Amino acid sequence: MLQLIARRLIFLIPIIIGVTFISFSILRLTPGDPAQVLLGENATEDDIRAIRQKFGLDKPFFVQYAIYIANVFQGNLGTSIRTQRTVLTEVMSRYPATLELAGTAVIIASLIGLIAGIIAASNQNSIFDYGSMVVSLFGISMPIFWLGLMLMLIFSVILGWLPAVGRGTLAHLILPAVSLGANSAAIIARMTRSSMLEVIRQDYIQTARAKGLAERVVLYKHAVRNALIPVITVVGIQFGYLLSGAVLTETVFAWPGVGRLMIQSIYMRDYPVVQGAILLVAINFTLVNLFVDVLYGYINPKIRVE
């Protein structure tokens, strides 16, 4: 297991290089001059040239990238063009808000998805089974920003039960977390149902039933544990996706997280902050997948032995 962790951590190096090069290239190809955006329309050529020299934007592309990647491996992600603060400070000041939102969303999605999937599988071809899968289809199909706007309209504008935007209390967290987790809940529910149906048809489940064990014991002691392996994969991937996919939700609900910071930085052509946020998301995704792999071994000892 330790060898697996070490191997995956080593793989972070090419991931960091690949992600930084792609994001660096895309941002440099994007129309717009950060110096011009920062100084405004009335800036003189001398002022613009001074800002470009200060942040190294006047150097050739590959020289800029070489300097940037060397600084990254030294823990220096650069300085924000907009606020003059270090990128690490900017990103990490917003990271707890994104982690709070994504963590709550994945808990909601996992609870709803697991319960719906298990009940649907144990009552195959019933009204609940068909109904839950239809609702799941809608959940997968609905755009996050549309669902967020609808929830805001109903529960904030019409009913006045919950605040529409901002962060501060538990009430502020409910709407964005439900909006962000709805799509993942639908995916987890469908995956749980499919995995449960496959396990239920196995011979050892039939043997457990033949021994006279109660159906509840057969399902929750034997079937659920073995059906969780592929579901955990989906939950882990969804958590990584939620950390990176919170951009739309944070924008709709004015949630002060990394996603909203990225949008603001893109508008301002603040290259270092956008690159730092993308790099953080990529590392998060890799570490979440590593955690899922380690968790496999504790759920299924056979995997740990292999």
Report the CATH number that the domain containing residue 156 is assigned in CATH.
1.10.3720.10
- Would you say residue 219 lies in a domain? yes
* Domain carrying residue 290: 1-81+268-306
Lowest-confidence range among 9-23, 66-80, 174-188, 206-220? 206-220
Pair (127, 2) in one structural domain:
no
Rounded to an integer, what distance in angstroms lies between the CA atom of residue 101 and that of residue 123?
33
Question: What does the pLDDT look like over 88-106, one tens digit per residue?
Answer: 888 888 888 888 888 898 8
124 and 39 within one domain:
no
Q: How confident is the model at residue 229 (pLDDT cuts 50, 70, 90)?
A: confident
Same domain, 123 and 225: yes
Percent above pLDDT 90 for the chain? 0
Q: Are residues 103 and 239 in the same domain?
A: yes
Please, which residues have CB within 8 angstroms of residue 87's CB and are 6 or more apart in sequence?
Answer: 77, 78, 79, 80, 272, 273, 275, 276
Residues 226 and 278 both lie in one domain? no
Nearest by Cα to 92 from 298, 292, 249, 273: 273
279 and 185 assigned to the same domain? no
In this model, does residue 51 exceed pLDDT 80?
A: no
pLDDT of residue 303: 57
In a domain, 254, yes or no: no
2 shares a domain with 139:
no
Collapsing DSSP to helix, strand or coil, 211 comes out as: coil
**What is the C-alpha separation between 146 and 151, in angstroms, rounded?**
9
> 56-85 burial by CB neighbour count: b if 16+ within 10 A, else e?
ebeeeeeebbeebeeebeeeebbbbbbeee
DSSP state letter for 220: I
Number of domains comprising the chain = 2
Residues 176-204 have pLDDT tens digits of 888 888 888 888 888 888 888 887 777 77
- Residue 138 CB-density burial (10 A; 0-12 exposed, 13-18 middle, 19+ buried): exposed
**Is 253 within a domain?**
no
Distances (CA, A) of 46 to 35, 61, 79: 11, 22, 21
Residues 52 and 178 in one domain: no
Q: Are residues 215 and 278 in the same domain?
A: no
Point out which residues pair with 86 in neighbouring strands. Answer: 79
Residue partners of 253: CB distance under 8 A and separation at least 6:
148, 152, 164, 165, 166, 175, 176, 179
Q: Are residues 134 and 165 in the same domain?
A: yes
Domain shared by 37 and 159, yes or no: no
User: Within 10 Å of residue 42's Cβ, how many Cβ atoms?
Assistant: 6
